[in-house]
Amino acid sequence: MIVHFSRNWILLLSLATLGSVAPARAACLDPGSSLYSRARALYGAGQYLLSATHFSQVAGTACDADLRDRSLYAYALALAELGEVSEALRTLETLSLPQAPVLRSFLTGDRSPLLLESVRLRFKIWDERLESSLMEPLRIDGMSSQKFDEVKSLRTRLGLVPAKSEWLAGGLSTVLPGAGQAYTRNFQSAALSFVLNAVFLATTLEFARKDMPAAAVASGMVFSVTYLGNILNAVDSVKRFNQLQRDPYEKQLRPILFPELVP
């Protein structure tokens, strides 16, 4: 979760929500509200900001307590997709829905023993590649043969996705700034790292050659920052690259293993 949500987006979402809720205060929404259906459609289309606004409006004007809770949960899902994990967790704290602990565990990585055994099994399948025999309890939980076979196939393919090494990327950029980024095919970032570090290193050496110690020290400090930043950026680029390789399989696998994570 999937994905960072800036303060500006929070403000925009809040203003949009307030603007849409105000005129609707006169009449509350019923459980069959078309606005909730529209919000779900927006979520399914990847329009997470708009869907969050709609879910928030439904939650604020729902006549039915169940619709309000489901809307708040869907609102938390949309925030999570937008990368605003802290806001999503705060929203979950107000809910007692059975699916809330699943989303909380997904966001925090905390596989609490308080989770149902069946849920912990699904997380184990999600987190690591398991032998087919260890997946059999999924059938006991009522998963259809078609879905079971799909989970096995996706989990196997996900386990075979080639992953690039963070250590190698960091090592390459230590030897030659930008090399680690090039390793993940991020050539624009590689070129920028190489040029910045080359410029600041050359400047530092030139100041030292001209016997300008203060300027050389200042330039050297800037170079050390860009050099370290280049290494950290190379490691981060590997994480992003590996996640992009996994995304297609995870997006198919997640709703099958965790129907709770669908609004």
148-165 pLDDT per residue, tens: 788 878 887 887 788 899
- First-to-last CA distance in the chain? 15
What is the rounded CA–CA span in Å between residue 259 and residue 207? 62
What is the rounded CA–CA span in Å between residue 191 and residue 111? 41
- What are the tens digits of pLDDT across the range 86-133? 999 999 998 888 889 889 988 888 887 777 877 888 888 887 766 655
- The domain limits of the chain are 1-110, 116-160, 166-250
pLDDT band at residue 183 under the 50/70/90 scheme: very high
Count of C-beta atoms within a 10 Å radius of residue 247: 12
- What are the tens digits of pLDDT across the range 50-76? 999 999 988 888 888 888 999 999 999
pLDDT of residue 14: 52
What is the rounded CA–CA span in Å between residue 78 and residue 36? 13
Decide if pLDDT at 258 tops 80: yes
pTM of the model: 0.67
* The pair of three-digit structure tokens given for residue 195, joined into one six-digit string: 């040029």
Decide if pLDDT at 220 tops 90: no
The per-residue b/e assignment along 79-98, b for 16 or more CB within 10 angstroms, e otherwise, is bbbbbbbebbbebbeebebe
Helix extents (H) in 22-64? 34-44, 48-61
pLDDT of residue 179: 92
pLDDT of residue 10: 52
Give φ, ψ of 62 to 5 degrees: -75, 135
CB proximity list for 110: less than 8 A, separation 6 or greater: 104
Q: Which residues pair with 29 in a beta bridge?
A: 62
